[in-house]
Structure 1
Amino acid sequence: MSISIHTDTASPDAVATALEARARRALSLEELTFSIANDAFAALAFRQALVLSSAAGSGSLLTVSGLARLGEDTPYVLWVHRLWPWLRQQLADSSGWLTLEEMAEVLPPDLRQGWEEWWPGGVFVVALPSRAGDVLGWVCFLPEHPPSPLQEALLQRVAQTWGYCWEMLTSNRSDGWLNRLKKTGRRQWMVAGVLILLLLIPVRQSVLAPAEVVSLDTTVVASPLDGVIKSMHVRPNQPVRSGQPLFSLDDTTLRSRWEIVQQSVAVADAELLAATQKAFDTPEGRSSLSLLSGRAQEKRAELAAIQAQLQRVNVAAERDGVVVFTDPDDWLGRPVSTGERIMQLANPDRPGVLIHVPAAEAVAFEVNAPAKLFLTVDPLHPQKAVISESSFQAVVSPTGVAGYRVRAEFIDTTVSARLGLRGTAKIYGERVPLVYGLLRRPLATLREWTGW
């Protein structure tokens, strides 16, 4: 709501005081510019007043007197936006009275036509300075007659207050953090410095990953031939001796073949014997003797091969150790091919750690990097180890997560950890600043989502 004070009934000081009080009560820049454009009529009678900002460089129109909302695409507003850069060059960031008659020769024709249509013969421009002297905005008054010296002095006085209020209202949004920073005391600066130093403290990168106790000296026990698992003679993690049976393949098919080939050998021997007896009487018998002899030898070789396969049906341990494999019931009746791994024969005297490091959480570490194993059965007594090898490519772990297989050796060679125990391993990598260790995962996630 505009104030109703006129120069005919009130002194200039009263008008200026009222305008300054109204400006100080403004809670936003929009409210301030509305007061400037409408309440200033008490100091200078005008047809229209426009408030422009310097934030956009060449100036942007904020408020027009008598309008609650400014249309951005009206012909009048577009013309003002084209006129103001030229008009500002004539003013050189200072207040003053300009007339169309004085600038008719230098004013572009399209701008002069708009002036003649919308504006009176002159315009009185008042700059709104900040405390540092920078111009924050302008007020263009369009009176029918030039302002008197008293009115100019009154508006110049009020312009100081308008500029101050403008600066305060805009500094709360754009420069508030800078002002607060300048007001920060010595103690706050010291606290900030200590925090920065703490963030620069070198710390060691680390990663936690699931792990299990394995043997570093293992032998693969594979199927010696194609067949079906008939029986498992041992249980998982069972200690075995050298030569102890581990599992057997079904020999039904091999024994059937052995019986058939054995009969074929008997038939070939009988034919060879008959041909040998005829060789003394007829030439035909002597000619077939070599053919039947080769056939008999072929059948004997086939029989020997089947006998060798029958001897390999029962698989025994090649050395002492512990057998490592899955549930025996999963193997019974299962067809296997030659060379397929059935189990492992591990040396329990050389335990180690197999760590499955997820690819998304991997950190840079070298061979011989330190690590710790926290067993699930004894988490309060971690076992120290050193990294011995790491896979080159990521593979799918038993949990279905892509990661790297890392092996580690226990530092204490006398540690007695049962094979198959599981837990969590902590691998230590290179030393980095604390701030990097804290922000490494968030930055990786940000890069994954943004591609930065």
Structure 2
Amino acid sequence: MPVMTIPAAGWLMETLAAFLQAPRGTDPLRALVLHLATSLRCDRVALGLRRRSRSDIEVLAVSDLVRPADAGELVRDLHAAMMEAAASACTLTHPSRRALPLHPGLAHVQLGRVLGACAVCSVPLALDGRVIGALTLQRDLGAPFRTEEILRLEQAAQFLAPMLRLHLAGRRRLALDALPDGPAWLRPLRPHLAIGALALLSALALLPVEREVVAPAQVRGLHERQLVAPRDGFIAVVHARPGVRVAEGQPLLDLDAEAVRQAQRAAEASLSQAETAVSEALARHDQAQLVVQMARVDEARARLEQAREDQERSRVLAPMDGLVVDGDLSRSVGAPVRRGEVLMTVAPAEGFRLVLWVDERDVGRVRVGSSGMLRVAARPGQALALTVTRVTPVAVTREGRNGFEVEAALSGAAPGLRPGFEGVARIGAGRQLLLQALLGRLPDSLRIGWWTLLG
């Protein structure tokens, strides 16, 4: 028995009429897929559309499902088949037909197994060279889709595509019109309310608010002491690491003293030999030799004194009570150091200064004496008052941006604060309009851009 007995033109008109003349209160998309399923004797017909130009295809109607959203796995298989047809922009069938240019993908093969074994056909819906949806049909494998049926479906797709686009646009307009209009007594007041809202927004935009400059901040010691190597040598013992509190005179680091002891023994031997030579010159009454040996005695004593001083300087002591903030040498035992090389940095545990990095676009708003607040990452719940004490005139680059360092002092006690803490500071910079605060740096960027382009 032939599947289609209706002439092509008549079937096409009936298909369009099924969509356009759907009964009031019913879904035209469902009426369309039901008509296609009946006229083509299909077990299932599904329709998917793109709600927006670049969105994914969404399965909107299935002939044997009242609510497609309730059948998750089946809808996912239908969606995958529609996406394959949309990607290929041509009709795909399973089992594949030699007359078609492309073979079906895995999604069509998987969909063909849903009803046990069935034939699948997907026809893309194209408009203005862009696929806006797809039709997917399934029926028994014993009655595969014939060439004339596929041609009729493709012809119907050409007529249905613009109608479906208009249908989606109409549904969006109906959704907007369905929004509540509010009570009847409010409708005459709408123009006045709009004017009042505009006036209120204008007043708020002209409202003066406090201007603040936000800058990253770091806590440093009020004054820091850098400890340098007193002589050339090797690190022997490390007594303190960064973060440790130290007292004045506490050992921090020892240098290897073996070379110094050898130099001291050599100086003592030279001194003994020179003194013996002096005694022999005195015994011989040799005035010239006496002068020479006395000079050697002085030289030996100087070398011995230098060796003893180097021996005493082999230990580096804390210059004050404070906190070691830099110089972790615990993994550098045995490493060589040269005289004058910085080894550690010690800062007082009490008394701090703040170093803020202010963007060059905001530094002009910061003045000496400006007040602000600081919150450090280690204690975000504690707000500390600060006062700007100095704006350095030298630019500092950070993360590819240009800025300036601003020094500030804490205005009160800061329990638990330590050098090295980092946080964010907000500095008061006068008053500005709320509109300027909302626009931020946009006006300045536009001015610079205008000047760059047009001068």
TM-score (normalised: structure 1): 0.50
Question: 1:303–1:350: structure 2 CA closer, same or farther, 3 Å change rule?
Answer: same
AA aligned to 2:385 is: K
Contact 1:363 1:429 in 2 (8 A): no
Correspondences of 1:69-148 after superposition (within 5 Å): none
Equivalent residue, structure 2, for 1:409: 409
Secondary structure of 1:243's counterpart equals coil
| Contact 1:365–1:430 under 8 Å retained in 2 | no
- Residue 313 of structure 1: CA displacement? 1.6
Matched ranges for 1:228-267 at <5 A = 228-267=234-273
Task: Write the distance in 1 (CA, Å) between the matches of 2:344 and 2:360.
Answer: 28
CA contact (8 A) 2:384 2:414 kept: no
CA contact (8 A) 2:321 2:349 kept: no
Counterpart for residue 351 of structure 1: 352
Deviations 1:104-141 (A, max 9, x none): xxxxxxxxxxxxxxxxxxxxxxxxxxxxxxxxxxxxxx
- The answer (yes or no) to whether the contact 2:232–2:339 under 8 Å persists in 1 is yes
Q: Which amino acid aligns with 1:404?
A: F
Residues 303-314 of structure 1 mapped to structure 2, 5 A cutoff: 303-314=304-315
Q: Which residue matches 2:231?
A: 225
Partner residue in 1 for 2:276: 270
Number of residue-to-residue matches in the alignment: 262
Match of 2:419?
419
Query: d(CA) in 2 for partners of 1:290 and 1:365?
Result: 72
Write the distance in 2 (CA, Å) between the matches of 1:316 and 1:341.
Answer: 14
What RMSD, in angstroms, separates the aligned Cα atoms of the two structures?
A: 3.2
Structure 1 residue 351: deviation in Å? 3.4
Q: Which amino acid aligns with 1:286?
A: Q
Large movers: runs of 4+ above 6 Å: 185-190
How far off is 1:293 after superposition? 0.6
Identity of aligned residues (%): 27
Task: Check conservation: 2:242, 2:326, Cα contact below 8 A.
Answer: yes
In structure 2, what residue type is equivalent to 1:391?
T
Please show how residues 280-429 of structure 1 align to structure 2 within 5 Å: 285-329=286-330, 331-359=332-360, 362-395=363-396, 403-413=403-413, 415-429=415-429
Deviation (angstroms), 1:297: 0.2
Q: Tell me the CA shift for residue 233 of structure 1.
A: 0.7
> Which residue identity is paired with 1:316?
L
Would you say the 8 A contact 1:207–1:363 is kept in 2?
A: no
Shift of 1:245: 0.4
Q: CA deviation at 1:310?
A: 1.8
Q: Contact (CA 8 Å) 1:237, 1:419: kept in 2 or not? A: no
Structure 1 residues 403 and 186, CA gap change in structure 2 (3 angstroms):
same
Letter of the 2:270 partner, please give it.
S
Distance change (3 Å), C-alpha of 1:391 and 1:253? farther
Q: Determine if contact 2:367/2:391 at 8 Å carries over to the other structure.
A: no
Alignment match, 2:431: 431
Q: Is the 8 A contact 2:327 2:345 kept in 1?
A: no
Uncovered stretches (5+) of structure 1, i.e. residues with no partner: 1-184, 280-284
Letter in 2 for 1:407: E
Range 367-376 or range 441-450, more displaced = 441-450
Distance 1:220 1:326, change over 3 A: closer
AA aligned opposite 2:379: D
Cα distance in 2 for residues equivalent to 1:272 and 1:347:
54
Please give the per-residue CA displacement for 1:170-222, whole angstroms capped at 9, x wherever unaligned: xxxxxxxxxxxxxxx88777666655554444444323333233322433333
Local SS of the residue matching 1:393: strand
Q: For residues 444 and 250 of structure 1, what CA distance do their matches in structure 2 show?
A: 60
